[in-house]
């Protein structure tokens, strides 16, 4: 088992801050890229490059704020793979990456593009 | 509505990486600290300091890996607040912060300590 520790310190009563959503998006984009790379490699198609953008949507929900959607947009260079096999791997990574699973309560959308 | 964009790039077929869990923990610790600070301020008790540690537990689950638990551990200096009122705010922030809500599928535990 691995336990990763992170810390945050807050001073004063500042009420706003976008850094948290960017961190969440970076965690998701990184996790997704890694999961896709691992899946493709396991299937015999190690990618040359995987690039993922995560867009985290924060909206007013009732009294507070909520993350209503995360859009993943991925581009990958994967020598020799068929388009359908790539899309299958891309969907599998969306379902299977640990951060996606932790975020199961949140809508996640995916656009995956095979380059070249 | 706010949309925050983050990116990740992956080259080669490296299969490991702990950075993603640290980012997720940092997002959660930061979001929790901010929500607690906002809640306390709204209740008339702006904190001097809020410090939160997030421990993200990653474990083998079936075929893959999953985030099985996130432990939040918070210490706060809040002039003039009663212990029970502080604990109520601390629990409220755990339930209400956007990252906690997005992670509703994941077990989250909280220890909150009022300092001084």
Query: Residue B20's pLDDT band (boundaries 50, 70, 90)?
Result: confident
Examine the pLDDT at A108 and tell me if it is beyond 50: yes
Secondary structure E strands in chain A: 2-11, 49-61, 64-77, 107-115
- Contact call for A98 and B58, based on CB within 8 A: yes
What is d(CA B46, CA B92) in angstroms, rounded to the nearest whole number?
15
For residue range A18-34, list pLDDT tens digits in order. 667 888 999 999 999 99
Q: Other CB atoms closer than 10 Å to residue B116's CB: what's the count?
A: 9
Mean pLDDT, range B42-64, rounded to an integer: 90
Examine the pLDDT at A107 and tell me if it is beyond 50: yes
Residues B34 and A17: beta-carbon distance below 8 Å: yes
Q: Which residue has the higher pLDDT, A43 or B22?
A: A43
Closest CA to B37 of B83, B75, B84: B75
Query: Residue A1's pLDDT band (boundaries 50, 70, 90)?
Result: low
Question: φ, ψ for residue B17 (rounded to 5)?
Answer: 165, 120
What pLDDT score was predicted for residue A80? 95
Between chain A and chain B, how many beta carbons pairs sit less than 8 Å apart?
Answer: 248
What pLDDT score was predicted for residue A19? 66
Examine the pLDDT at B14 and tell me if it is beyond 60: no
- Contact call for A56 and B19, based on CB within 8 A: no
Average pLDDT, whole number, for chain A? 88
Model ipTM value: 0.83
Establish if A92 touches chain B: CB-CB under 8 angstroms.
Answer: no
Query: Which residues from chain B sit within 8 angstroms of residue A56, using beta carbons?
Result: 3-6
Examine the pLDDT at A15 and tell me if it is beyond 50: no
Give the pair of three-digit tokens for residue B51.
């410090």
Examine the pLDDT at B7 and tell me if it is beyond 90: no
Establish if B18 touches chain A: CB-CB under 8 angstroms.
Answer: yes
Angle, helix B19-42 to helix B83-96, in steps of 10 degrees:
130
- Contact call for A8 and B26, based on CB within 8 A: yes
Average pLDDT, whole number, for chain B? 88
């Amino acid at each position: 088992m691995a336990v990763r520790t992170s810390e945050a310190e807050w001073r004063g009563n500042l009420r706003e801050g976008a850094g948290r959503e960017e961190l969440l998006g970076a965690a998701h984009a990184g996790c997704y890229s890694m999961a896709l790379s691992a899946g493709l490699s396991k299937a015999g198609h190690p990618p040359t490059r995987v690039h993922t953008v995560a867009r985290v949507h924060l909206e007013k929900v009732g009294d507070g704020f909520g993350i209503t959607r995360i859009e993943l947009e991925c581009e990958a260079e994967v020598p020799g793979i068929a388009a359908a096999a790539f899309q299958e791997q891309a969907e599998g990574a969306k379902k299977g990456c640990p951060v996606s699973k932790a975020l199961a309560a949140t809508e996640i959308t995916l656009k995956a593009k095979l380059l070249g």
